[in-house]
Structure 1
Amino acid sequence: MGFTRSAHFFGLGFQSPKGVEINKHWKLIPKDTDILITHGPPFGILDLTASNYNAGCEMLLKKVNQIKPKLHVFGHIHEGYGIIENGKTIFANASSVNVHYQMVNAPIVLEI
């Protein structure tokens, strides 16, 4: 079972479709947020799938760029596991499983 650009992951929890519906949630994030935890990644940040598709949310990226949290933790895109930093925010895709749902990734530990 694969997914396409229009899929919103089969109605599973924490899977609102991209666009106006999910943006309602992003608008609720306080401007002074230091640590942001979301289910999925922002667009272009640790969101590259095995199909070479950036599956992150463009509207979440816009919100993250506005509030500049010190840390943004997410998962969902299993292939994107890892940590990167852009000078303002540490991004951690903490997915513990691979694309086949095998527990292969070590826990991510950060000291703040």
Structure 2
Amino acid sequence: MRIVAVADTHLYHAQLVVPHGDVFVHAGDLCRFGELDELAEAAAWLRSLPHRYKVVVAGNHDWAFVHHPREARSLLGKGVIYLEDSGVCIDGITFWGSPWQPAFHDWAFNLPRGAALAEKWAAIPEGIDVLITHSPPFGIGDRSWNGDRHGCADLMARVRQVKPRLHLFGHIHEDGGVFRETDVTYFANVTTWECGRGPTVLDVEGGVVEEIEVPKARP
């Protein structure tokens, strides 16, 4: 299965060169301010992509999924799978998605560090192949411009318990890339940093994850 993954497009999606693949994943922050008109624009772009499957997790800028959840999900359309503490199986590969992150200014899907976030991560089931969160785990792909780390330690603890083959996330624009922290799980911060960075392309086959390319955005 070839997965083409992005995050943090913030309505700059027209600048992206999106490669073909089997599954297109957006790990949150389709929008800038996050209301329905912006989501409608982003959803039209998603539906225009040729990938057979499209999987979306909301991010902290995607307020429509908080303020108008039914309308927001409807706007995505039938061809887009929205995951919010839920999962889907695609061609034998299991995906689980969750939008939460440690409290970050006054944005959507914020929760305080500790018990509240740990409760959300506890819902991540064992046996999944691909985990999609907007938040990074602590210590991987979570370093901001000043060197501070913003990932969630409880998320990392849960990832080490459930051992997905691949963990996709975004949120922190400055630390995109693919990382190998254990013998089991590949981690990928798939941020496009408002489309200055291209999509992340990964092949998942058996127990192997391979990064294929990181295409450049259009100038």
TM-score of the two chains, using structure 1 as the length reference: 0.84
Distance 1:107 1:33 in 2: 23
Partner residue in 2 for 1:49:
144
Distance 2:132 2:109 in 1: 12
Partner residue in 1 for 2:179:
84
1:87, CA displacement in angstroms? Answer: 2.0
User: What SS is found at the alignment partner of 1:109?
Assistant: strand
Does residue 20 (structure 1) correspond to residue 85 (structure 2)? The answer is: no
1:16, CA displacement in angstroms? Answer: 1.9
1:11, CA displacement in angstroms? Answer: 2.9
1:103, CA displacement in angstroms? Answer: 2.1
Quote the sequence identity (%). Answer: 40
Kept in 2: contact 1:73–1:94 (CA 8 A): yes
Partner residue in 2 for 1:35:
130
1:14, CA displacement in angstroms? Answer: 2.7
1:74, CA displacement in angstroms? Answer: 0.2
User: What SS is found at the alignment partner of 1:26?
Assistant: helix
In the TM superposition, structure 1's runs of 4+ consecutive aligned residues that sit over 4 Å from their partners are none
TM-score of the two chains, using structure 2 as the length reference: 0.45
Q: Work out which of the two has the higher radius of gyration on C-alpha atoms and give 1 or 2.
A: 2
1:22, CA displacement in angstroms? Answer: 1.1
Does residue 103 (structure 1) correspond to residue 179 (structure 2)? The answer is: no
1:9, CA displacement in angstroms? Answer: 1.7
Higher strand share: 2
User: What SS is found at the alignment partner of 2:144?
Assistant: coil
Residue type at the aligned position of 2:186: I
